[in-house]
Amino acid sequence: MDYTQSIPLNVALLIILIPLVAVGIYYVKLKKSEELWKFALEGAGDGVWDWDIGNDIANFSTQYKEMFGFNDVDINTSIKEWNNRIHPDDAASMNKAVNDYLSGKAEKYMHEHRVICKDKSIKWVLSRGMIVKRDKHGKPIRMVGTHTDITARKALETRLENLAHFDALSNVPNRTLFNDRLKLALSYAKREKKMLAVMFIDLDLFKEINDLYGHETGDIVLKKVSRQLVSCVRESDTVARMGGDEFVILLPIIDHEEDVIAVAHKIIESVAQPIKVAKTHLHVTCSIGIAIYPQHGKDEKLLVINADMAMYQAKKSGKNQAKFFEEAMLH
């Protein structure tokens, strides 16, 4: 019996069309779902990316491109081209975070890094993503995610970091940061059997300037002296303000005591130069105490105490000079 003869044409067409319509509806719904998902993410201010891992192609939302100052004419879909916009200092850690997630070493992908914008400015982003498709062997073949602009948050963190570790007036490291650096330098010196030096500096005649011209003028003097001290040392050295008119300098690596004497003389000459404030030329000098590891102390606290003691001896002996710590100062 020929069953095709017994099925009306309209019924046969329905049998053929219904599955096709169902598939079409499914893909329309899927497309609509993805569009709604992307719309929701962009509504939060995030830029959305969609990475075809196998073909190394990425699609980026309009919000994503605009975040960095680009448009469709400026870019293509190559993920490599976009990765080239990652700040060089952050590229290795970002690639590691992605690879760890794709290989299963990490449960999620989340990474903070800098991106170079079209105008060459830098933005910090929080990048997050997840695998949404795998092949039959379980290998990731599609990943989607977002970039959130966190530049303002990073700037705030930097300001808070500066408040915690830098002197607000002079912008040089404060006591906390100095102690941290001294601890690290001392660990290195002990391990490598090297010498380091701590210099304790107190300004002479500063109290008189403060009393005569006021604290605002005194603050200007402290700022200028701070800059002078920084100019007298190496980039690897640390100038810190302990408070008031007291400063400390860490020379983390020295070969000879004569090296420290040379730096001390340079500082004394520099600080003694007239400081112009408004139409007035002010004069300060400084007294310096020096303690060297390991001769004058084997821990951070003792080195600073002994350098401070030597400074007071320099001040007591006539000011405007430097003195090394000596055991006799203890008596």
Contact yes or no for 56/78 (Cβ under 8 A): yes
Active-site choice (245, 255, 259, 308):
245
Can you give the three-state secondary structure of 193-232, one letter per residue? CCEEEEEEEEEECHHHHHHHHCHHHHHHHHHHHHHHHHHC
**CA–CA dist 252, 238 (Å, integer):** 8
Annotate 53-92 with b (16+ C-beta within 10 A) or e (fewer). beeeebebbebbbebbebeeeebeeebeebeeebeeebee
**Pairing mode, strands 285-293 and 322-324:** parallel
Q: Respond yes or no: is residue 299 known to be catalytic.
A: no
Q: Which residues are catalytic?
A: 245
